[in-house]
Structure 1
Amino acid sequence: MTEIARKHLAYCWIARGDRVLFLRRGPGVFLAGRWEPPGGTVEPGEAFEAAAAREVAEETGLRVRVTGELARDSWPDVGGRALEIHAFVYTVEEDGSGAVVLNPEEHDDFAWLAPRDARRLEMAEHFRRLL
């Protein structure tokens, strides 16, 4: 029997007023062109909340502090590998309200959108469920 590995992802719901930050994945990366909240892979031994804040800093230059868990979801690997994905979405507070500075190796655009407007974006189904 094949053992299924697990991958953990941590994302942040960064709100400014009634708008939330979404990033578009850049060309040449997995799921290119799709939108998502800032976040990514939890490294081995890393706390999920710490991973969420680290990923935000790496992807946007923003500094955040996790304030709670908004949602969690799981799904099988979209590539068909024996891998189960577990994602956590955290609410956060910004340390200041700096400008978004994208990491061009991962994302090529960003938008502050009301969740109802974000539904029009091309995004993975697990993020669409969040909206």
Structure 2
Amino acid sequence: MMRTVVAGILEREGRVLVGQRARPAWAAGQWEFPGGKVEGGETLAEALAREWREELGAEVEVWGEVYRRELDTPAGAFTLVALRVHLLAGEPRPLEHRALAWVAPADLTRLPLLASNVPIAAALTAPA
């Protein structure tokens, strides 16, 4: 069974939230859309809400899917799914990230994004 990783897209005033990874060493300093692994028995929405609670101290409601792709990386194969989230309670805080930033989608490519997250940034700026 292929692992699934979820990433959350939170928008506010034309900007999206990204977090700077603190670990593992190969990813430290790179930016990502916050999320994490789907555990056994969880839906994508449950996993993403749990990850945001654990990593950002924020309660979110998960909305629609933005992006999905199967990836083969040095860490193994997995499916990456990006979903829009809506903030219900709590202001996101960097509990597990070095820093958080609100970035206009067009400016995301100026950051050192995790390679797996680059196409998500492209999907956010693609014409509807």
TM-score after normalising by structure 1: 0.84
Partner of 1:54: 50
SS of 1:51's equivalent in the other structure is helix
Q: CA deviation at 1:126?
A: 2.2
C-alpha distance in 2 between matches for 1:124 and 1:23: 11
Partner of 2:101: 111
C-alpha distance in 2 between matches for 1:26 and 1:70: 25
Name which of 85, 89, 95 aligns with 1:92.
85
**Residues 1:120 and 1:29: Cα distance change in structure 2 (over 3 Å):** same
- Mapping 1:1-131, distance limit 5 Å: 6-79=2-75, 83-96=76-89, 98-103=90-95, 106-131=96-121
4+ aligned runs moved over 2 Å, structure 1 = 27-30
Letter of the 2:86 counterpart: E
Greater Rg over alpha carbons, structure:
1
TM-score after normalising by structure 2: 0.86
Deviations 1:64-111 (A, max 9, x none): 1011111111111324xxx31101110111114x332222xx311010
SS of 1:122's equivalent in the other structure is coil
**Residues 1:89 and 1:120: Cα distance change in structure 2 (over 3 Å):** same
Contact 2:57 2:93 in 1 (8 A): yes
Aligned length: 121
**Residues 1:63 and 1:54: Cα distance change in structure 2 (over 3 Å):** same
Percent identity, please.
32
Contact 1:73 1:126 in 2 (8 A): no
Alpha carbon RMSD of aligned pairs, Å?
1.6
